[in-house]
Structure 1
Amino acid sequence: MCGLLGMLTSDGTASSATQLVASAATCMRHRGPDDLGTWNDDDLIFGFNRLSIIDIEHSHQPLRWGPPEDPERYALVFNGEIYNYLEIRDELSREFDAAFRTEGDGESIVAGYHYWGADVLTKLRGMFGFAIWDTQQKELFLARDQFGIKPLFLATSARGTAFGSEKKSVLELLDRLGLDRELDDRAIEHYTVLQYVPEPETLHKNITRLESGCYATLRPGVAPAVTRYFKPRFPVRPFAPNGEQKRYDEIADVLRDSVAKHMRADVTVGSFLSGGIDSTAIAALAIQHNPDLITFTTGFERDGYSEVDVAAESAEAIGARHIVKVVSPREFVDALPQIIWYLDDPVADPALVPLYFVAAEARKHVKVVLSGEGADELFGGYTIYKEPLSLATFDKLPGGVRRLAGKISDRIPEGTRGKSLLHRGSLTLEDRYYGNARSFDDARLRTVLRTFREDWMHQDVTAPIYRMSEGMDPVTRMQHLDLFTWLRGDILVKADKINMAHSLELRVPFLDKEVFAVAEQLPFEEKISHGTTKYALRKALEQIVPPHVLHRRKLGFPVPLRHWLAGTEMYDWARELIATSDTDHIFNKQFVMQMLEEHRRGEVDNSRRIWTVICFMLWYGIFVDGTVVPKIEDRDYPVRL
């Protein structure tokens, strides 16, 4: 787990930009405070910050490797972990007599690339964003893991291409590329609707992201050529007669194997633990490999917004030492500028704030933590996935009848029972399901966003993904959409950025290619069934997790945002921020104030809409006009970029 930065020049002047890249890399020193490194030739510069996890004394980067006839042919910078690196090294040694100089996982990537080419990506079990420079062929190979656990940003012009683990460092290289820092109004609109910036966009027009499950090849003076190597198919495999238990055992076995490999490290590994089944399962399996496992959770003092007691009960049941961090409203507000700075682009998910504090607490004790992200997308865990069952009758109606139902719903007063069901039933899946988050409906979006354009709607993001899933059942299509939107746009962004803010590596055993290979074969009935979600997973975990969490409703790290924005905890702060933010050209601030007042009076729960706008205003103050200065302590890099 580290931070990489690099620049491929078009004119062979890389050496003149070495100091610039080294300086820009310090903006993400938090990702790798253990070791610094740079390397360059005439065409390319690599910068690297290392967080030492495996083969601590060696495996320094940028890493050089090559076959016996050209042992320095390749240079590698690599952010992430390859959990099956030992098996890959063994396979390469047997098949090609490959030799290695370290005991780390980085060499397994570059050696695999030499012998297998881009096919190495299908063999890697892990999380990664990496760059390999072939000094012989003068070709750069960039790649991200299939789910997008690790980030990789790109900026390209006629002068070359910059790439890095964090956007703030790439921003520092734009001048060298002859690019400006213009904002992307289209991305702003997508963010305002979805609460995150969808890949491959960022809020800066000249910086994009290499999408999850993709690789890119580059040569000096040639624009990146991007290829998607991961395309989930969900090839459903129906149960054989009386074969249910065999499938449940298969799920349990592949999870045991994934956790075992995710425990590979030369440092102490802990685990996050909420009150839900996913994190509890991971912790219960992890303690089998580390009897001294420490688990961490967070919560709030307000009743109903804490799973601290349930998590503590789970920790006691599995025999783990447990540490709790309680977050106050004052801490919550004070930390926001720092959190937004670390995020690069805003993510309007309040859950990332308690994650920030529990990560800080965990880093005092361990260097690596496991977590349960991804289980819902793989095994069908979101309650909204039940919706196709409740709307099945509408799907059988002719299109004209469904449109009529929609018109009728428009005439029914707000709050009337059945209005929402009638409205949603009138829509196709593609029209009604954007993913797990939507802050503003179309009418409010037109009012709140001064830069609104009709041709920049959410369908820009979702339509191509829905085309990829044609022929799948409705629940699987929703899962497929969330894999390419909510998971990589919200969950994995906060998992990476918030934990790395504290130099803490977060590992996600559910998001493993072998686990996915089992999960994607599950039929509809094994996801949403018997009145619950993740049915097959729950059955598989019956002998692994304590009974008190087996069928609990999912909460995660809940946040009392609705109450705080209406009360003394946050109302005055939010009002002042909105009033003073220099974003009048982007938002209708009068309408934002109106939403805040409606919320304070208890007329409408506008908390998520207000939060979406507030997070952007903080981001704008930090990265655009400099009116907000986050307190980044104990760092040797500049706060203001």
Structure 2
Amino acid sequence: MCGLLALVCDPDRSVTSEIVETVAGASHLMRHRGPDEPGTWSDDRAVLGFNRLSIIDIAHSHQPLRWGPPEAPQRYMLVFNGEIYNYLELREQLSSEFDVVFATEGDSETIVAAYHHWGPAALTRLRGMFAFAIWDTETAELFCARDPFGIKPLFMATGPSGTAVGSEKKCLLELAGPLGLDTAIDERALQHYTVLQYVPEPETLHRGVRRLESGCYARVRPGAAPEVTRYFVPRFAAVPFGARKEDAQARYDEITAVLEDSVAKHMRADVTVGAFLSGGIDSTAIAALAIRHNPNLITFTAGFEREGFSEVDVAVASAEAIGARHVTRVVSPGEFVEALPQIVWYLDEPVADPALVPLFFIAREARKHVKVVLSGEGADELFGGYTIYREPLSLKPFDFLPKGLRRSVGKLSGPLPEGMRGKSLLHRGSLTLEERYYGNARSFSDAQLRAVLPGFREQWVHTDVTAPIYAESQGWDPVARMQHIDLFTWLRGDILVKADKMTMANSLELRVPFLDPEVFAVAARLPLEQKITRTTTKYALRRALEPIVPAHVLNRAKLGFPVPIRHWLRAGELLEWSQQLIEASQTDEFIDRAAVRRMLDEHRTGVSDHSRRLWTVLIFMLWHAIVVERSITPQISEPTYPVEL
């Protein structure tokens, strides 16, 4: 797990010592991603910067890494963030088929050798999380790629003087001058953020910076715009409803086997591996499988002082049941507020998910004990774990109504009082799936957006993001279509961003065994009734995990890291912080601060619960103060961790 940066200059501009120093300085901004070993390499066309967090083959596998075939041993230079879990199998295959001789024992060489012999098709053979860039000195081409699910980030920026790619946007913004980047705020991306609580890929809040999307690769040539190609599209198979009963146990056994294999491969490391344990079924399953490979496994949970906002007790019981040593971190309101500027600086882009705050603290605590943790992200998207996935079952009667009548029923909900039972059902039942579902978060309605965003545009709607994704899932069952939407929106826009950024902020590698191509292949074949029933979610996964997960969490709803911001925004330190931030904010071009003040007052007095909407705006204001105004300077210290754990 590391941080990479690569700059390719246009043909009329050669790399100078000044450019190399600038890239090295920009790379240093993400030293938290790899405090063990920095590195820089350059030729007359490209510069590569790197910060290494050494996990496998610690004594070797230095980066930037040079590799080439016998006839051109100096041909390629690699910078790579992530882990390839099947690297041992790939090394054996490459040695057998092409007589490849490896100089290290790590996974980095495997990537370059695979690319040399198989080209972009090598990406479908990699089982892992990755973002990497390979500079080909013979063809003067930079080949960049990102893993299928978007576990690891890769930002891209092209200006008049060249193209840069990097693990963190702050590094690319540092190169804005040399590249000639447009660093103005993208108001369309801001409107998407305000609705979704994250900036959807490939957008960022800066016009001149974009993200290479998950499951894509790009070719960057001097003087040309990057050519982006999608190599992976997750497809849920069309499985007939009512799978035969005798097939069900075989499915559960297949799920168990593929998860056991995935966890075993995710445990490969030359350092200590621990696990996050939230108290839900997903993280408990991962920890229970991991302890088979490390009997001294340490698990970690965060909680809050306020009653009802902690899974510590359940996590402690789970750790005891599987035989793991457990560490908890309780976060106070004061610590919460104090850490926010650091957290937003590490994020690069605003993400209005309060759960990233406890994740930051538990990652910091875990880093005192281990260098790698496993976690349960991705299980909900793959196996059908969100309660909202059950909505198509409750709305099924509306499918039998003629379209006109269905719309008329929806209009009946308009005059009904807010909060009246049945109002939401009538409204949502009148809408198509494409109209009503665009992921797991909606902070603002259009009417609320108009009140808060002076630059609101009717044409900048959520379907900008979801319509192309829905087009790929025609004919699938509605739950599979919702899963498909979440894989491209909520998962990679919120879940994986906070997982990567909060752990990397603490120089901790997080691995997600559910987000494995082999696990996905099994999950994608599940019929609808093996995912969702009227009484439960993740049905097949729960059945498969019965022999593995303690009984007290098997059918327990997952809370994740619940955060009491609804209460804290009404009184105390968080309310005071919010009021000060709103008054000092220089975001009048983008945000109607008077409307935000009214929202905060209504929330404080209990008139309405505006906590999610307030949090979305407040995080943008804080991001703007740090990144644009520079009126808030987070205290970022040099990482000081032991090299070995």
Contact map agreement 2:35 2:639 (CA 8 A) in 1: no
Q: In 1, are the aligned partners of 2:393 and 2:534 still within 8 Å (CA)?
A: no
Question: 421-430 or 403-412: which moved more?
Answer: 403-412
Decide which of 426, 433, 456 is 1:429's aligned counterpart: 433
1:605 and 2:609 correspond: yes
Q: Secondary structure at the match of 2:329?
A: strand
Match of 2:200 in 1: 198
3-state SS, counterpart of residue 5 of structure 2: strand
> Which residue number corresponds to residue 624 of structure 2?
620
Partner amino acid for 2:282? D
Name the counterpart of 2:338.
334
Measure the CA separation in 1 of the matches of 2:44 and 2:452.
49
In structure 1, give the amino acid aligned to 2:347: L
Paired residue for 2:14? 13
Q: Name the SS of the counterpart of 1:37 in structure 2.
A: strand
Asked if 1:286 corresponds to 2:287, the answer is: no
The one-letter code sitting in structure 1 at the alignment partner of 2:43 is D
> Shift of residue 158 of structure 1?
3.1
Partner of 1:562: 566
Pick aligned residue for 1:394 from 372, 395, 398: 398
Which whole-Å CA distance do the structure 1 matches of 2:373 and 2:16 have between them? Answer: 38
**Residue of structure 1 in register with 2:78 after alignment:** 76
Q: Which segment is superposed worse, 526-535 or 358-367?
A: 526-535
**What is residue 639 of structure 1 aligned with on the other side?**
none
TM-score normalized with structure 1 length: 0.98
* SS of residue in 2 equivalent to 1:81: strand
Shifted more, 366-375 versus 460-469: the winner is 460-469
Give the structure 1 partner of residue 378 of structure 2: 374
1:306–1:15 CA distance, 2 compared to 1 (3 A): same
Unmatched segments (≥5 aa) in structure 2: 641-645
| Structure 1 counterpart of 2:147, from 145, 161, 170 | 145
Distance 1:226 1:415 in 2: 46
Could you tell me which residue of structure 2 aligns to residue 185 of structure 1?
A: 187
Query: Do structure 1's residue 158 and structure 2's residue 157 form an aligned pair?
Result: no
Matched position secondary structure for 1:455: coil
When the two chains are superposed, the root-mean-square deviation of aligned CA atoms in Å is: 1.0
Give the Cα–Cα distance (whole angstroms) in 2 for the partners of residues 236 and 101 of structure 1.
45
Q: Give, in angstroms, the shift of residue 178 of structure 1.
A: 1.4
Aligned to 2:577: 573
Distance 2:587 2:303 in 1: 33
The aligned runs of 1:23-422 (5 Å cut-off) are 23-237=25-239, 239-422=243-426
2:566 and 2:609 in contact (8 A); partners too: yes
2:446 maps to what in 1?
442
Indicate conservation of the 8 Å contact 1:15/1:45, yes or no.
Answer: no
Superposition deviation, residue 241 in structure 1: 4.9
Q: 1:4 is matched with which residue?
A: 4
Query: 1:169 and 1:572 mapped to 2: Cα distance?
Result: 33
Contact in 2 for aligned 1:15/1:41 (Cα 8 Å): no
Q: In the TM superposition, what are the counterparts of 1:437-476 in structure 2 within 5 Å?
A: 437-476=441-480
- CA distance in 1 between counterparts of 2:558 and 2:445 reads 25
> SS in structure 1 opposite 2:66?
strand
Report the counterpart of residue 557 of structure 2 in structure 1.
553
- Equivalent residue of 1:315, what SS? helix
Of 505, 508, 514, 1:501 maps to: 505
Return the offset for 1:240.
Answer: 4.6
Deviations, residues 31-77 of structure 1 (Å, cap 9, x unaligned): 00000111111111100000000000000000011111111111100
Identity of aligned residues (%): 70
Q: Distance in 2 between matches of 1:497 and 1:172?
A: 19
Superposition deviation, residue 237 in structure 1? 4.3
1:187–1:203 CA contact under 8 A, matched in 2: yes
Code of the aligned partner of 2:495: I
- Deviation, 1:160, is 1.1
Aligned partners of 2:551, 2:15: CA distance in 1, in Å?
59
- Counterpart CA distance in 1 for 2:568 and 2:245 is 53
Paired amino acid for 2:548: I
Which deviates further from its counterpart, 274-283 or 149-158? 149-158
**Cα displacement string for residues 423-466 of structure 1 (whole angstroms, at most 9, x for unaligned residues):** 00011111111100010001000111011111111111111111
- Structure 1 Cα separation of the partners of residues 160 and 602 of structure 2: 50
SS in 2 for 1:222: coil
Cα offset, 1:157, TM superposition: 2.1
Using the TM superposition, give the Cα deviation of residue 15 of structure 1 relative to its aligned residue in structure 2, in angstroms.
3.4
Verify the 8 A CA contact 1:15 1:40 in the aligned structure 2: no
Deviation at 1:569, TM superposition (A): 3.7
Aligned pair 1:592/2:596, yes or no? yes
Q: Please give the per-residue CA displacement for 1:59-110, whole angstroms capped at 9, x wherever unaligned.
A: 0000011111111111100000000000000000111111110000001100
1:141–1:217 Cα contact (<8 Å) kept? yes
1:231-265 CA-to-partner distances (Å, cap 9, x unmatched) read 11211445455111011000000000000000000
Secondary structure of the 2:29 match is helix
Shift of 1:219: 1.2
Aligned partner of 2:482 in structure 1 is 478
Please list the CA deviations of residues 6-52 of structure 1 after superposition, one character each: whole Å capped at 9, or x if unmatched: 10111251234111100100000000000011111111110000000
- Distance (Å, rounded) in 1 between the aligned partners of 2:184 and 2:589: 14
CA distance, structure 1, for counterparts of residue 638 and residue 166 of structure 2 = 23
One-letter amino acid of the counterpart of residue 98, structure 2: F
**1-structure distance, mates of 2:132, 2:583:** 42
TM-score by length of 2: 0.97
Aligned with 1:538: secondary structure?
Answer: helix
In structure 1, runs of 5+ residues without a counterpart are 637-641
TM-superposed deviation, 1:494: 0.4
The answer for the alignment partner of 2:643 in structure 1 is none
**Counterparts of 1:284 and 1:23 in 2: how far apart (Å)?**
42
Equivalent AA in structure 2 for residue 484 of structure 1: F
Distance 2:288 2:573 in 1: 37
